[in-house]
Amino acid sequence: MEFDSAKTMGTIGAILVVLTIVPHAGAILGLLGFILILLSLNFFSEYYGKAEIFKNALIAVIVVAVGLIAAFITTLDIPWFIRVDAATPKAPFPLVIGFAICLISAIYFRRSLIMLSEVSGVKMFSTAALLYLIGAILTIVPVPVGGIIMIIAFVPLTVAFFAMKPKLTPAPATMTPT
């Protein structure tokens, strides 16, 4: 993959994540966006020689996948998983698990973006990382402020991918005859 292809892939991926607000198709667009961002981060981790960039992003995605499965399982009334009496509300369990998973995932995604910011020199990655973490923290609030901020974080991420420049390679030295 070329630098410009990875840059474009990251830009399009971030735009697709912003489009998760579109009714009916939003979830699919968001999933495709995250896949494109992951592929882009994989390229840039190799390009800059920092495997942690992709590793942290991949951990963030795995944590979300495991968290979604765990949150779904806790909503089921399975006697061997959790003993729930009729008087015990089940609703807080998935919410608490969802918040914890969102926060852990955001911490790893933030690490990935901050590393990319440091090696690429594009500080907008750090801005997107901070917004994403703030949004994850605010998901504990009952209103959807946190989720909205997390989606908004992909706007500066789009700009950051777009602003990336390839590493400058020094020109070969030429000898002039004297």
How high is the pLDDT of residue 90?
55
Q: Is 23 inside a domain boundary? A: yes
**How much is the average pLDDT of 138-145?**
82
Q: Which of 4-13, 89-98, 99-108 has the lowest mean pLDDT?
A: 89-98
How high is the pLDDT of residue 121?
92
How high is the pLDDT of residue 119?
94
Q: Is 175 inside a domain boundary? A: no
- Here the tokens at position 121 are 């020199």
Domain encompassing residue 39: 3-163
Question: Contact 153/131 with Cβ under 8 angstroms?
Answer: yes
Q: What is the pLDDT of residues 108-127, one digit of tens each?
A: 999 999 999 999 999 999 99
Q: Given pLDDT bands bounded at 50, 70 and 90, which one contains residue 88?
A: low
- Here the tokens at position 145 are 């402020």
Domain count for the chain:
1
Question: Contact 9/40 with Cβ under 8 angstroms?
Answer: yes
Say which residues have a Cβ less than 8 Å from residue 25's Cβ, sequence separation at least 6: 19
Q: Is 168 inside a domain boundary? A: no
- Here the tokens at position 96 are 């608490």
Residue 63 has pLDDT above 60, yes or no: yes
